[in-house]
Structure 1
Amino acid sequence: MTDHDWIADTFTSDTGWSHLETLVDIGDRMAGSPGEREAAEATRDALDAVGARDAHLEEFDVQGWVRGDSRIEAGDTEQACIALPRSPAGEVTGELVDVGYGLPEDFEDADLSGKVVMAASNVPSWYDRFVHRREKYYYAVQAGAAAFVFHNHVEGCLAPTGSVGTEDAPIGDVPAVGVSKEVGARLRRRFEDDEVTVAVDCEAPDATSQNVHADLGPDTEECVLLTSHVDAHDIAEGAMDNGAGTAVVVEVAKALAAREDDLDTRVHVLVYGAEEVGLVGSHHDADVRDHGSIEGIVNNDGVVRGRTLKLYTHGFDGLESAAETVAERFDHPVNTTPRLGPHSDHWPYVQWGVPGIHVMSETGDEGRGWGHTRADTLDKLESRDLREQAILLTELTVHLADSATAVEHRDPESIAEQLEAEDLAPGMKVTGDWPY
């Protein structure tokens, strides 16, 4: 097959977009839910249909979480909110304290014992790194907070979601809710320093999730992992996060099936479950997979949201070079950064020195934008972007699977040192994610 043939086939294909429609129309794809299982089965069947071999599911146990009602009572008002997944059930009353952005230094001298702590979902433009929601939550927990309120920075009356909890203690320590930017502003203006009540009703049953596996190319012991996650938060369609990533994986798998003669190394397709509640599916796989056999990882989480790809290459010079080679070959913009990003399914491998790329796309927005809200819907995406990015990522995967391409693994010690240098280590330690 010539380049013109597979590129034309991919750019005119509706396979990936049709799969994206299938995923968003399922509804609730929360980790451990029947909808997540249905999405995994549909992805397995889609991979089989495009020519991948041995498409199957692998089950694993996961802490389930089922949403009930939640509320904030302030004065004689009730303010709209949603529980953050893996919040414990409970009702607490305490003085409302707004810690602004919720940067580490915002917690240092604050009196937060027994208080209801509110923090924003973004960080200021002058700050040198992203501060994750869970990091803010556990700074509040360590300071003795009775409850946590996470307010959106995006206008539009959209309450943000996102899980709390750790690997060792999957259910969080104190009730946690998300509120819109507008509710956050109202709470700050009218009720800061007053007593408010936060109540969360939810269930935390035992549950089962699953990873989807399939193979393309020669049956080599070494492999390139082509990955995404299929679960999503229950409040939305999960189109951007991460139906689009799984749709791209299916489209790339279709293109790779037509180019199997170009693959020197096996491409193992791996679509994870339970990413949104602590990277559970990828940790499950990373714990049992031979890291030395992984030539590279192409993890799709945040693609299609914008037209230009953004790749976190995690300090692997060979991955940076591979991305530049593909961008030059297609005369197409691709933005890269060597910084570490410990917040998606590449990380359980990259933390031990396995070469991995986190593939996202530029949006021009601060933070997640529509992600993790009810507005994460299919209408925000374009099929053109999916097709263009599938072409680039097909070529990137083939390049990494080429026997002439060798990306050196890194020592875990160097990853730990880079985390310290980029000021990511303190947050990982407070959230229980520091593995060294």
Structure 2
Amino acid sequence: MTDWIGDTFTSDVGWNHLESLVDVGDRMAGSAGERAGLERTRDAFANVGARDARIEEFEIQGWERGDSAIRLGDDSIASDAHSCIALPRSPAGEATGEFVDLDYGLPEDFEDDLDGAVVMVSSTTPDSVDRFIHRREKYYHAVEAGAAAFVFANHVEGTLPPTGSVGTADAPIGDIPAVGVSKETGARLARRHEGDELTVDVDCSTPEATSGNAVADLGPDTDEYLVLSSHVDAHDIAEGAMDNGAGTATIVEVARALAAREDDLDRRVRLVGFGAEEVGLVGSSQYAAAADPDRVRAVVNVDSNVFGRTLKLDHHGFDALEAAGERVSERFDHPISLGGELVPHSDHWPFVQRGIPGYMVSGETADRGRGWGHTSADTLDKLESRNLREQAILLTALVVDLADADVSTARKTDDEIAAALKAEGKATGMKITGDWPF
């Protein structure tokens, strides 16, 4: 029976939910906007036929943006929203020091004397380096090197200062003031102010706040279940269309298709719209910590898809997940990009680090880094409804395949996950950022 394919390709349910989310405005973790997004997602789950739709609340460290600036003496040289913004969970305060441009901010770039310096690094990593170096790793290299402040310069043109959180699970507020600057501002700082005494000034507040996970179920009421997830929150400077309104809209569309195919599901499907992903995977970490790992057969986590037309499935070396992706690609004669390396970011990771098979589902793009993600340019106009529908069809087939009683999804041991992280050169960075789970 293929009617569900045509129904999905002509459905507006997912796209309408995407529009609903971006129209909320600010969906920052712990904000009223995030709560509105969670409520709309909970209701969307219920409206497509999922049962027991609810929001499971939890407390988080809140963070609210004020003004930020970089100054030379009393003169502001970067202070408006097109040039300089605070990174979420930066501490409030001023820090003054010699300005040092560290270019890409590779680990070896922090070996020079940086005590008391204001350091700037790029948001990207050169192709000559075999792994992408995350913002938080660069930040904590700067902290360890004794830097006074951290400047994160976008590599994407368009006067787009990037956002992205700092802090750790144990210390949610970072150690030193941190700001993002546009590519153009970063270039100007490097050309004019290398060696100057610059001041980074961050104004913000850090109230306690409440977030939550939107949860519902489809299929038979089995003890074992699959998790189909996304994150609902987004950074406060943008619509969060790609990251991650698209992922949440996609799982709503997949849920609509699965509700019409419940008889094809041998295992329960747990729908989860996680909260507080952008500030440290808080919602998924709490959920995964409370879950019985023997009952979670696999996780299909969708984050930042639709912008790239080709669906990308990072399967983290789980053979059963790789095979399922290949089956779906062959069945539909449609390209799916498969990757086996570990991706220790997004809401699949709290499960995968426990050995639970999990995908990071995204859209394949040509360049490293986030592109327009984590900037004010992450807007609805850059996405196409056709891509959402195509990807929803493929993911519906993937979930039904994994839910088959004859499909086995073997877990990995802690030692296997740790060894893979070390082999891929990711262990050192994760230890620096406080993310090493072993």
Residues in 2 aligned to 1:202 and 1:338: alpha-carbon distance in whole angstroms: 39
Partner SS, residue 292 of structure 1: coil
User: Aligned residue for 1:85?
Assistant: 88
The match for 1:113 among 112, 115, 119 is 115
Deviation at 1:275, TM superposition (A): 0.1
Residues in 2 aligned to 1:397 and 1:305: alpha-carbon distance in whole angstroms: 21
Identity of aligned residues (%): 68
Deviation at 1:365, TM superposition (A): 2.8
User: Aligned residue for 1:338?
Assistant: 340
Deviation at 1:78, TM superposition (A): 2.0
Partner SS, residue 285 of structure 1: helix
Deviation at 1:435, TM superposition (A): 0.9
User: Aligned residue for 1:100?
Assistant: 103
Deviation at 1:352, TM superposition (A): 1.1
User: Which amino acid in 2 is paired with 1:90?
Assistant: G
Partner deviation per Cα, 1:218-243 (whole Å, 9 max, x = no partner): 00000010000000000000000000
User: Aligned residue for 2:387?
Assistant: 385
Count residues with an aligned counterpart: 433
The match for 1:50 among 31, 40, 48 is 48
Residues in 2 aligned to 1:272 and 1:77: alpha-carbon distance in whole angstroms: 39
User: Aligned residue for 1:247?
Assistant: 249
Partner deviation per Cα, 1:70-96 (whole Å, 9 max, x = no partner): 000136442130000000000111100
Partner deviation per Cα, 1:365-388 (whole Å, 9 max, x = no partner): 331000000000000000000000
Partner deviation per Cα, 1:388-423 (whole Å, 9 max, x = no partner): 000000000000000111111011110000000000
The match for 1:31 among 20, 29, 32 is 29
Structure 1 stretches of 4+ moved >3 Å: none
Partner deviation per Cα, 1:289-336 (whole Å, 9 max, x = no partner): 001111111000011011101111001011000000000000000010
User: Aligned residue for 2:306?
Assistant: 304
User: Which amino acid in 2 is paired with 1:288?
Assistant: A
Q: Name the Cα RMSD after superposition.
A: 0.7
Residues in 1 aligned to 2:304 and 2:243: alpha-carbon distance in whole angstroms: 6
User: Aligned residue for 1:135?
Assistant: 137
Q: Map 1:280-319; keep pairs closer than 5 Å.
A: 280-319=282-321
Residues in 1 aligned to 2:6 and 2:101: alpha-carbon distance in whole angstroms: 54
Structure 1 window deviating more from structure 2 (169-178 vs 359-368): it is: 359-368
Residues in 1 aligned to 2:403 and 2:413: alpha-carbon distance in whole angstroms: 22
Q: Which runs of 5+ in 1 are unaligned?
A: none
Q: Which runs of 5+ in 2 are unaligned?
A: none
Residues in 2 aligned to 1:77 and 1:64: alpha-carbon distance in whole angstroms: 28
The match for 1:260 among 259, 262, 267 is 262
Residues in 1 aligned to 2:40 and 2:50: alpha-carbon distance in whole angstroms: 14
Residues in 2 aligned to 1:376 and 1:398: alpha-carbon distance in whole angstroms: 31
User: Aligned residue for 2:18?
Assistant: 20
Partner SS, residue 174 of structure 2: coil
Partner SS, residue 291 of structure 1: coil
Residues in 1 aligned to 2:95 and 2:45: alpha-carbon distance in whole angstroms: 47
User: Aligned residue for 1:177?
Assistant: 179
Partner SS, residue 60 of structure 1: strand
Residues in 1 aligned to 2:53 and 2:127: alpha-carbon distance in whole angstroms: 44
User: Aligned residue for 2:410?
Assistant: 408
